Structure 1
Amino acid sequence: MKELKHLNKYFKKYRLKLLLGIVITIIARLFSLVVPNYVNQSIGVIENYFGEAISLSQAKSTLFQYILIIVGTALLSALFTFLMRQTIINVSRYIEYDLKNEVFDHYQILTLDFYKKNRIGDLMNRISEDINQVRLYAGPVIMYGMNTVTIFICVITIMFIKAPTLAAYTLIPLPVLSILIYQISKIIHLRSTKVQEFLSSLSTFAQESFSGVAVIKAYGIEPQVNQELQGLAIEGKDTSMDLAKVNAWFFPLMILLIGISNIIVIYFGGQMYIDGKIASFGLIAEFILYVNMLTWPVAVVGWLTSIVQRAEASQKRINEFLKVTPEIQNEVTTSSPIKGNIEFRNVSFTYDDTQITALNNVSFSIKAGQTVAILGKIGSGKSTILDLVARLYDISEGEILIDGKPIKELNLNDLRKAIGAVPQEAFLFSDTIENNIRFGNEEANLEEIIEVSRKAVVHDNIQGFAQKYDTILGERGITLSGGQKQRVSIARALLKDPKIYLFDDCLSAVDTETEEEILNNLKQASKDKTTLIVSHRVSSAKNADHIIILDQGEIIQEGTHEELNNKEGYYKELYQTQLSEKE
């Protein structure tokens, strides 16, 4: 159970509620223990009546009192059992809530490299199915575990006090039970781990299939996908059946052993009654009730063992990600005001997952308020520069300075708050258009949202929808066209009103006329703001204060539009080609 030690901090947090729940559990079980004793005494009353030791009226009066006590204690036991569940199960839900938040918070601080190496379906399974397995350990296991321990201690103690020899005979099957539980639990642990790993694979497959359903339909490969799912389903069935077969041994074995204990009580108890070693026949009935009171606790031991083993396997998977240390660390706690000066000094960067060198000895300087355009072929390193400015990665060599300070010496939160980024692939959430734009500034009102939407030339499109700004978008903004998604993302960045704008080829899906209008609006909106524009179009770059041309991670040209257009090279060729295409 070493992996489950991670939950100790939560048990400590809710220790008062847990202690209260444990006390209530003990009280509930103590009330339930009253019943067998009074059943014994009731049988004794009947024996006394037939032995003519008491009259019929005395027998009836005494039995009525005992029945009231039995019913009353049963009701009190039920009440405290209800309170027990309300206390301990609620704590398990609190722990589930805290653990999900802990995992989600950790997911958010992990770097992009982590998400490149791990599948989304697996991440989702660990924060949902795995945590649910852990919750069962934090709730039902504690509740039923305490219930079992209390019953065992109290019942066995009472049995030995009342008839030691008969109690010893009755409990003979228990050592056998302990050995069986120990052996079977080891097998359960291994098979539970396999089940959880399979569920991650299934979640990943389903998530990718649903996200890529348009491609699946376009290529007509539904039969192949169904066949793959069928293969996974068969694998899942076999894996789950392997676990179920082991679990299936528990309850029959428990019932068998309890049944043997009942036979022992009746046989040896009867012999002892005949031999006069026990005074009352009611003691045998009392022992039978005690043994049957042990039935559920003994049977539940196997179930609890299974839950603990599954929780251990799940918590191990959760801990694997919680132990991942983010490569990007915020080492500065003080505030870092950002003005917008950016400088790259001999920067080189290699992606860890592919070992592709995206930038090689790149140096340039941008003053606050300048607009710089970055052009180049696909894979030349343009987007990488924007990622490094936002410190989504740490560089391999060289130095990046923001306002004259190394980027690692800035407060990471302040740096990213000062940046308005529009990625190459616009991502929108399954929410209203208004809320998607407000993502850039949660305190903005509708008038401000409409204003930035006009600047992004998307307001008229939004007005064309039946619900206008209250239109709910599909997953990843599928309701909108590519160009509309890009313009909503631009509006989101404008609403943030940051010190630094990062536009990553964000006008690739709009026509040239709309592009020209948006660029003119951006020029006004980004006045006195540092702006980096990555593009494949000269039209997006020609009005920039400075233009950088990249090729295979190196700067091959830089200057203004006039300077670059007056010299032979990549920029002039690209400008003439795109100009002729436009004409």
Structure 2
Amino acid sequence: MFEVLGKLSWFFKAYWRQYTVAITLLILASVVEVIPPWLIGDAIDAMTTGQLTADDLRNYIIVLLLIVVTSYVLNFVWQYQLFGGAITIDRLYRKKLFQQFLRMTPTFYEKNRTGDLMARATNDLNAVSLTAGFGIMTLIDSTVYMALIIVAMALTISWKLTLFAMLPVPIMAFIIQYLGKIVHERYMVAQESFGDLNDNVLESVAGVRVVRAYVQEPLEEQRFFEKSEEVVEKNMAVVRINALFVPITRIGMGLCYVIALGYGSVLVSRGELTVGQLVSFNVYLGLATWPMFAIGELINVMQQGNASLDRVEETLQYEADVKNATHHVDASPTSVGFRDFTFQYPLSQVKNLADISIALQKGQTLGIVGKTGAGKTTFLRQLLREYPLGEGLFTIGDIDIAQQSKEQVLDWIGYVPQDHVLFSRTIRENILFGKEDATDEELAEAIRLAYFEKDLANLPMGLETMVGEKGVSLSGGQKQRVSIARALIKNPEILLLDDSLSAVDAKTEAQIIENIQRERADKTTIITTHRLSGIQHADIIIVLDDGQIIEQGTHEELLAQQGWYKEQFDRQQLEEANQ
């Protein structure tokens, strides 16, 4: 149960001063709180014997007021320090998780659902934070505070009465410990279920337009209801066990009171105990009520915190499958080359690229075409270092890419993906994401190259227009051109366009291609597309089929080969003529 504290030892060592102050003051506050019952008992004995004077009463009241003020100050400081630490660990883990999410490659996200990752970054972190704050408090209260109360009862009142009155406590502790193990198991299951629910909601919200288009709202509502009921059921399984802690504690405390009053009365009748001492003993038992409850809360919090920490650490300990070389070699993007290169996705059963050999010099444009699933995007992903390198040779600047740092390679690249990811910010902020320190002139030039000036003029707030979540307020063509402008403002050495002109008309496509040709004459460009008009100008064009190059050459050379490229070109020309 307490192994969670060992797992968090790095945090307690880093913030040992804060926790030392908090725990020390918490213990001092506990010591102060066990004094009033003794004073009350002493005052009652003085009253029953007729020895209580006005001065004595005044002294009792002053001492009690001082104890109240001291207790208030101590409690304020230790709570500020302790629960401040809980907030700090929440912040640290949240930062670590976010950094881990950014570092991870697609393989990680193929194995982990977004909803479950969100659950780990919210619910699980809250449970860990609770352990570092409330858990430490209940640990001290259920041990040190309880021990102080027992010592006070045994030394100032009667060790015999204390021994008999505390008999139910070990039995309670054993039962609560057993229940805590069940809580741990059921809480893990409940968190997994919550992750499933999160994932379901994310998918439904992201695909709400498709849901409406297919009139699937009732089905989605039913799916959500079933997932929600599953989460409720799993959490109720936890609650059913948690609900046993309080009754067990109350029953145990009730037995303690019965024993204390019964045996205490016998001791009073024998003259071994005064009435004041019996009253003090029962006040002490009242103080012991919270430590008794704290035992149950402690086990509950520790078990849930342990389960949640395991889930968080599982995510943090996941190692990226694309790592930098131990010793980096500096290079210059003067060329991009593949020789006998073969690649297979980690979860694939077939070769996704096979025997790829091509050499591209700086300033050249490479066009990649092929049917759907031929390997066009897979080719670009090799440059983006999203997956472990395949077999064969892959170089940039005649140096093996495995010897170059990922950061260096990605710094050369401007990337426009098929799925145009825009952030819920303004158009200006989305474009400047490619180069945050770009000047207004560079921003205007990127917009011009992306042929977005006219559309921008028609938007209500121009560059300050909010694009909405995932660019929902823009059309498909507008989103593509914002993405292109974001890549071009970086003025990258290598520009990757992954079917990035599919949503624009032929005239707009021709204008963008012309702009890129003119402005990037001395830089490398790689374009994948289904529309051959977008790559006719390319220096080299390759046709991929099942990950292999089946045709290669310039536009004119490929037409002369009378292969797939010629067939596709004729078909597209006919379609354009018919339109």
In which range does the TM-score fall when normalised by the shorter chain? over 0.9
One-letter amino acid of the structure 2 residue matched with residue 476 of structure 1: K
Residues 398-437 of structure 1: pairs in structure 2 closer than 5 A = 398-437=392-431
Alignment match of 2:252 (pick from 257, 262, 267): 257
The answer to whether the 8 Å contact 1:340/1:500 transfers is: no
The structural deviation recorded for 1:263 is 2.1
Alignment match of 1:148 (pick from 142, 149, 158): 142
Q: Deviations 1:7-66 (Å, cap 9, x if unpaired)?
A: 2211211111111111111121122122111101211221232xxxx4xxx622211211
The answer to whether the 8 Å contact 1:494/1:525 transfers is: no
Residues 470-509 of structure 1: pairs in structure 2 closer than 5 A = 470-509=464-503
Where does residue 230 of structure 2 map in the other structure? Answer: 235
The answer to whether the 8 Å contact 1:376/1:549 transfers is: yes
Residue 85 (structure 1) aligned with residue 76 (structure 2): no
The structural deviation recorded for 1:383 is 0.9
Give 3-state SS (helix, strand or coil) of 1:498's partner: coil
Alignment match of 2:369 (pick from 375, 379, 382): 375
RMSD value over aligned CA atoms? 1.6
One-letter amino acid of the structure 2 residue matched with residue 566 of structure 1: A
Give 3-state SS (helix, strand or coil) of 1:305's partner: helix
Where does residue 69 of structure 2 map in the other structure? Answer: 75
Where does residue 25 of structure 2 map in the other structure? Answer: 24
The structural deviation recorded for 1:578 is 1.9
One-letter amino acid of the structure 1 residue matched with residue 388 of structure 2: D
Higher mean C-alpha deviation, range 184-193 or range 318-327: 318-327
The answer to whether the 8 Å contact 1:84/1:143 transfers is: no
Give 3-state SS (helix, strand or coil) of 2:230's partner: helix
Higher mean C-alpha deviation, range 334-343 or range 137-146: 334-343
Where does residue 273 of structure 1 map in the other structure? Answer: 268
The answer to whether the 8 Å contact 1:88/1:139 transfers is: yes
Give 3-state SS (helix, strand or coil) of 1:393's partner: coil
Gaps of 5+ in 1: none
Where does residue 206 of structure 2 map in the other structure? Answer: 211
CA spacing shift, 1:576–1:24, aligned 2, 3 Å: same
Alignment match of 1:551 (pick from 532, 540, 545): 545
Q: Give, in whole Å, the separation in 2 of the partners of 1:248 and 1:458.
A: 62
Residue 341 (structure 1) aligned with residue 335 (structure 2): yes
Where does residue 224 of structure 1 map in the other structure? Answer: 219
The answer to whether the 8 Å contact 2:362/2:524 transfers is: yes
Residue 40 (structure 1) aligned with residue 41 (structure 2): yes
Give 3-state SS (helix, strand or coil) of 2:53's partner: helix
Residue 292 (structure 1) aligned with residue 292 (structure 2): no
Q: Deviations 1:227-251 (Å, cap 9, x if unpaired)?
A: 1222122222221111111111111
Residue 321 (structure 1) aligned with residue 315 (structure 2): yes
The answer to whether the 8 Å contact 2:4/2:305 transfers is: no
The structural deviation recorded for 1:4 is 5.8
Q: Give, in whole Å, the separation in 2 of the partners of 1:564 and 1:485.
A: 32
Alignment match of 1:178 (pick from 169, 173, 177): 173
CA spacing shift, 1:5–1:460, aligned 2, 3 Å: farther
Residue 125 (structure 1) aligned with residue 119 (structure 2): yes
Q: Give, in whole Å, the separation in 2 of the partners of 1:142 and 1:169.
A: 29
Where does residue 188 of structure 2 map in the other structure? Answer: 193
Where does residue 94 of structure 1 map in the other structure? Answer: 88
CA spacing shift, 1:112–1:512, aligned 2, 3 Å: same
Q: Give, in whole Å, the separation in 2 of the partners of 1:428 and 1:501.
A: 18
Where does residue 129 of structure 2 map in the other structure? Answer: 135
The answer to whether the 8 Å contact 2:34/2:152 transfers is: no
The structural deviation recorded for 1:337 is 4.1
Give 3-state SS (helix, strand or coil) of 2:225's partner: helix
The answer to whether the 8 Å contact 2:331/2:399 transfers is: no
One-letter amino acid of the structure 1 residue matched with residue 342 of structure 2: S
Q: Give, in whole Å, the separation in 2 of the partners of 1:545 and 1:27.
A: 80
The answer to whether the 8 Å contact 1:332/1:410 transfers is: no
The structural deviation recorded for 1:323 is 2.6
Gaps of 5+ in 2: none
Name the % identity.
34
One-letter amino acid of the structure 2 residue matched with residue 21 of structure 1: A
One-letter amino acid of the structure 1 residue matched with residue 43 of structure 2: S
Q: Give, in whole Å, the separation in 2 of the partners of 1:446 and 1:22.
A: 56
The answer to whether the 8 Å contact 2:327/2:403 transfers is: no
Where does residue 441 of structure 1 map in the other structure? Answer: 435
Q: Deviations 1:206-238 (Å, cap 9, x if unpaired)?
A: 111111111111111111111122212222222
The answer to whether the 8 Å contact 1:338/1:415 transfers is: no
Q: Give, in whole Å, the separation in 2 of the partners of 1:130 and 1:370.
A: 51
Where does residue 388 of structure 1 map in the other structure? Answer: 382
The alignment of Structure 1 onto Structure 2 pairs a total of residues equal to 575
- TM-score, length basis structure 2: 0.96
Q: Give, in whole Å, the separation in 1 of the partners of 2:260 and 2:68.
A: 24
Q: Give, in whole Å, the separation in 2 of the partners of 1:500 and 1:478.
A: 29
Residue 534 (structure 1) aligned with residue 535 (structure 2): no
CA spacing shift, 1:525–1:42, aligned 2, 3 Å: farther
Where does residue 581 of structure 1 map in the other structure? Answer: 575
Give 3-state SS (helix, strand or coil) of 1:566's partner: helix
- TM-score, length basis structure 1: 0.96
CA spacing shift, 1:155–1:333, aligned 2, 3 Å: farther
Q: Give, in whole Å, the separation in 1 of the partners of 2:363 and 2:286.
A: 81
Q: Give, in whole Å, the separation in 1 of the partners of 2:4 and 2:364.
A: 53
Give 3-state SS (helix, strand or coil) of 2:504's partner: coil
Q: Give, in whole Å, the separation in 1 of the partners of 2:5 and 2:396.
A: 44
The answer to whether the 8 Å contact 2:329/2:403 transfers is: no
CA spacing shift, 1:538–1:334, aligned 2, 3 Å: same
The answer to whether the 8 Å contact 1:95/1:138 transfers is: yes
Alignment match of 2:447 (pick from 437, 440, 453): 453
Q: Give, in whole Å, the separation in 2 of the partners of 1:481 and 1:356.
A: 37
The structural deviation recorded for 1:525 is 2.8
Q: Give, in whole Å, the separation in 1 of the partners of 2:194 and 2:441.
A: 47
CA spacing shift, 1:283–1:335, aligned 2, 3 Å: farther
CA spacing shift, 1:3–1:179, aligned 2, 3 Å: closer
The answer to whether the 8 Å contact 1:347/1:395 transfers is: no
CA spacing shift, 1:19–1:333, aligned 2, 3 Å: farther
Higher mean C-alpha deviation, range 325-334 or range 289-298: 325-334
Where does residue 303 of structure 2 map in the other structure? Answer: 309
Give 3-state SS (helix, strand or coil) of 2:13's partner: helix
Q: Give, in whole Å, the separation in 1 of the partners of 2:478 and 2:213.
A: 23
Q: Deviations 1:509-531 (Å, cap 9, x if unpaired)?
A: 00000001111111123221111
